[in-house]
Homo-oligomer: A and B are copies of this chain.
Amino acid sequence: MSLEVKIEFDTADVHGALLLRFRQVREQTLALTDGLSDEDMLLQSMPDASPTKWHLAHTSWFFDAFLLQPHLPGYYPLDERYQYLFNSYYEAMGGRHPRPVRGLLSRPSLGEVLAYRDYVDAAMEALLSHASDAVLDKVVIGLHHEMQHQELILTDIKHALAQNDCAFADQPLVSPSGLAEPDMDYSHFKGGVIWVGSDAETDFAFDCEQPSHQVFVQNFSLRNSPVTNGEWLDFITDGGYQRPAHWLSDGWDRCRSEHWQAPLYWHKNQGRWQNQSLFGKMLINPQDPVCHVSYYEADAFARWQGARLPTEFEWEYAARNCAVEGHFSEAKLWHPRGAQLKPSLQQPSGLKQMYGDVWEWTQSSFSAYPGFSSSLGALGEYNGKFMVNQYVLRGGSCVTPQLQMRPSYRNFFYPHQRWQFSGLRLAH
């Protein structure tokens, strides 16, 4: 199936293999827009989010600016103005259209943006046929970059459509039951000096995952399943959103100023809690993993339970022996679902759903690994400049391309943000 892309190289034909992957990733991006109108794709519902059309253009600009212009002789950009419109945040690449008003770019039209994609794709085919290893490495980064935007396309359009009370049918959908009960037990791990991170020798890894290095972890325990909607309903019922004792001070301030009463997208209708999927309103399924909670809420929930969030290294250590199986973007559910996946042979613990369905907040601030460096010029702005005020999430979600997942992958968001598919797993 075309979605099961793997960027693994036949050493006999590196160029051909990468070209194939390039086509697959680019096609997959467009496939995500099925069912969206020109108007839908222009929506920007908050400064944190971007229009679908902008994602389509920006991912093309990435290849345009970092690959084609410097490396393809004779190449010239389709429209000089796109350099300004579709740069996201690369200061080294010159000025850019202000992020909060990306939704005002009715021009170029969707059709023109699709033509821009075609133009870039055609040039990339030419480049890929004879590129050097250094160039190929940047192409791989570009594909991983594009997969990150595939996730954002789904995340952002969900937020945009949710602002419109009339975007979907009034009748809520019913989530299918999980395959099995969530597992409330804990698996235990013995501490010591461990290796974390990646050296990206055999597989791709972003700069922020590198270098691999030693850390010391204490003995710890990790819950086998993520926290569920059912448990979250208990938290709500027990006054979780009304009592400051559970909350970080900044979290409590945010909870009050934004009037949080439940996870994002939850609302009560005629006495029944509903949330939102990309296909319409849904009745809450208690067995599904809770989703769209902020770090502040995750932390408060953990304290209420007498537990805590894991560190990112505890998570990574535990995940190293878990199979990467769960609901990813390719499953086209785009909504987390409770599941008891088969433990793989190498998985002695009882951990389930470490990957997929919901990103799991860790208590770790996003920071540089020892010896971290950005050596790629403007591409060096990729991760390093965000290493403050954000917290690491691990494991991917139901809108993440499965190909992206690996134990060392670090996602990061601000602790108040809730529009990502973010949940949690408890630790002791």
* A190 CB–B CB distance under 8 Å: no
**A218 contact set on B, CB distance < 8 A:** 213-214, 370-371
* A110 CB–B CB distance under 8 Å: yes
Q: If A39-B110, A106-B37, A388-B295 touch, does A81 touch B193 (CB 8 Å cutoff)?
A: no
Chain B's closest residue to A39 (CB) is: B106
Let me know if B85 and A166 touch, CB within 8 A: yes
Chain B's closest residue to A218 (CB) is: B370
**A252 contact set on B, CB distance < 8 A:** 91, 385
Size of the A side of the interface (Cβ < 8 Å), in residues, is 62
**A367 contact set on B, CB distance < 8 A:** 363-365
* A368 CB–B CB distance under 8 Å: yes
In the assembled complex, the Cα of A45 lies from the Cα of B296 at a distance in Å of: 29
Chain B's closest residue to A79 (CB) is: B166
Tell me the residues in window 338-365 of chain A with beta carbons closer than 8 Å to chain B beta carbons. 363-365
Smallest CB separation, A370 vs chain B (Å): 4
In the assembled complex, the Cα of A252 lies from the Cα of B92 at a distance in Å of: 14
In the assembled complex, the Cα of A168 lies from the Cα of B281 at a distance in Å of: 40
- A65-73, A243-251, A320-328 - the one binding chain B: A243-251
Smallest CB separation, A403 vs chain B (Å): 27
* A108 CB–B CB distance under 8 Å: yes
Let me know if A101 and B166 touch, CB within 8 A: no
Tell me the residues in window 265-296 of chain A with beta carbons closer than 8 Å to chain B beta carbons. 295-296
Which of B108, B164, B371 is within 8 Å of A106, CB to CB? B164
Let me know if A108 and B388 touch, CB within 8 A: no
**A193 contact set on B, CB distance < 8 A:** 193, 216
* A137 CB–B CB distance under 8 Å: no
Let me know if A92 and B245 touch, CB within 8 A: yes
**A386 contact set on B, CB distance < 8 A:** 248-250
Smallest CB separation, A168 vs chain B (Å): 8
* A319 CB–B CB distance under 8 Å: no
Let me know if B245 and A388 touch, CB within 8 A: no
In the assembled complex, the Cα of A109 lies from the Cα of B39 at a distance in Å of: 7
Chain B's closest residue to A193 (CB) is: B216
* A181 CB–B CB distance under 8 Å: no
Which of B37, B43, B89, B415 is within 8 Å of A388, CB to CB? B415
Let me know if A248 and B388 touch, CB within 8 A: yes
Chain B's closest residue to A106 (CB) is: B39
Let me know if B104 and A160 touch, CB within 8 A: yes
* A129 CB–B CB distance under 8 Å: no
In the assembled complex, the Cα of A385 lies from the Cα of B89 at a distance in Å of: 33
Interface mask (A93-108 → B, CB under 8 Å = 1, otherwise 0): 0000100010111111
Chain B's closest residue to A387 (CB) is: B248
Let me know if B213 and A214 touch, CB within 8 A: no
Smallest CB separation, A83 vs chain B (Å): 11
A-side interface residues toward B, CB under 8 Å? 37-40, 42-43, 45, 79, 81, 84-85, 89, 91-92, 97, 101, 103-110, 160-161, 163-167, 193, 213-216, 218, 244-245, 247-252, 295-296, 299, 308, 363-365, 367-368, 370-371, 385-389, 415
A-B contact pairs, 28 of them (CB 8 A): A37-B38, A37-B109, A38-B39, A39-B106, A39-B109, A40-B107, A45-B101, A81-B166, A85-B165, A89-B249, A91-B252, A101-B163, A104-B160, A104-B164, A105-B164, A106-B161, A106-B167, A107-B166, A108-B166, A193-B193, A193-B216, A214-B216, A216-B216, A218-B370, A248-B385, A249-B385, A249-B386, A389-B389
Q: Which 6 A-B pairs have the closest CB atoms?
A: A365-B365, A39-B106, A216-B216, A91-B244, A81-B166, A218-B370
